Amino acid sequence: MSIRINHNTAALFVRHNLEQAGASLEKTVNRLSSGERITRAGDDAAGLANSQALRSEVRSLRQNIRNVNDGISVTSTIESALAGITNLLNRIRDLAISSGNVAMSDANRQINNEEARRLVEEIARMAASTEFNGRRLLDGSYANARVQTGASSGQYIAITIASMTTNILGAIATVTGSAPVSAAPIAGGGDLILNSYEVPASADDGVSTDLADASARAKATAINAVAGLTGVTAQAQPTILTGAAAGGGSLRAAGPDSLSINGVNLGDVDLAAGDATANLVTRINMIASQTGVTAALSGGAVVLTAEDGRNIQIEVTGAATVITGLDAQTRTGTVTLTSTKTINVGGALGLIGFDAAQAVTAVDPARALDKLDVASFDSAQRAIETVDAALKTVLSERAQIGSIQNRLDAIADSLAVMIENLSASDSRIRDADFALETARMTRDQILQNAAAAILTQANNMPRSVLDYLLQQ
User: Where residue 63 sits, what CATH number does that domain have?
Assistant: 1.20.1330.10
- The proportion of the chain whose per-residue pLDDT surpasses 70, expressed as a percent, equals 87
Give the count of domains, the chain: 4
Q: Are residues 68 and 162 in the same domain?
A: yes
Same domain, 231 and 256: no
CATH of the domain at 180: 3.30.70.2120
Band (pLDDT 50/70/90 cuts) for residue 28 is: confident
221 and 349 belong to one structural domain = yes
> Per-residue DSSP letters for 190-259?
TSEEETTEEPPPP---SS-SSSTTSSHHHHHHHHHTTHHHH-EEEEEPPEEEEEEE-SSSEE-SSSSSEE
Residue 428 has pLDDT above 70, yes or no: yes
Q: Is residue 408 a part of any domain in this protein?
A: yes
Q: Find the mean pLDDT for residues 360-368.
A: 90
Strands 232-236 and 294-298: unpaired
Structural domain contains residue 427:
no
Q: Is residue 85 part of a domain?
A: yes
What is the distance between the alpha carbons of residues 112 and 212, in angstroms, rounded to a whole number?
45
Half-sphere exposure of 373 (CA within 13 A, CB side): 9
Cα(first)–Cα(last) distance of the chain, in Å?
20
| Residues 177, 169 contacting (CB under 8 angstroms) | no
Q: Which residue would you say has higher pLDDT here, 3 or 77?
A: 77
pLDDT at 108: 92
Are residues 351 and 233 part of one domain?
yes
Q: Tell me whether residue 212 is in a domain.
A: yes
Q: Are residues 135 and 74 in the same domain?
A: yes
Residue 339 covered by a domain: yes
**Shared domain check, 186 and 159:** no
Same domain, 88 and 132: yes
**Residue finishing a domain among 311, 331, 351:** 331
pLDDT (0 to 100) of residue 273: 55
**What is the band of 466 on the pLDDT scale with cuts at 50, 70, 90?**
low
Residue 41, domain member (yes or no):
no
Q: What is the pLDDT of residue 119?
A: 97
Is-above-0.85 flag for pTM?
A: no
* Residues 164 and 181 both lie in one domain: no
Alpha helices, DSSP H, located in 35-187: 45-99, 106-129
211 and 225 both lie in a single domain:
yes
Domain that holds residue 312: 239-331
Distance between CA atoms of residues 293 and 288, nearest Å: 5
In a domain, 44, yes or no: no
How far apart (Å, rounded) are the C-alpha atoms in residues 437 and 45?
20
Answer yes or no: is 263 within a domain: yes
Mean pLDDT of 175-192: 94
- One-letter amino acid of 25: L
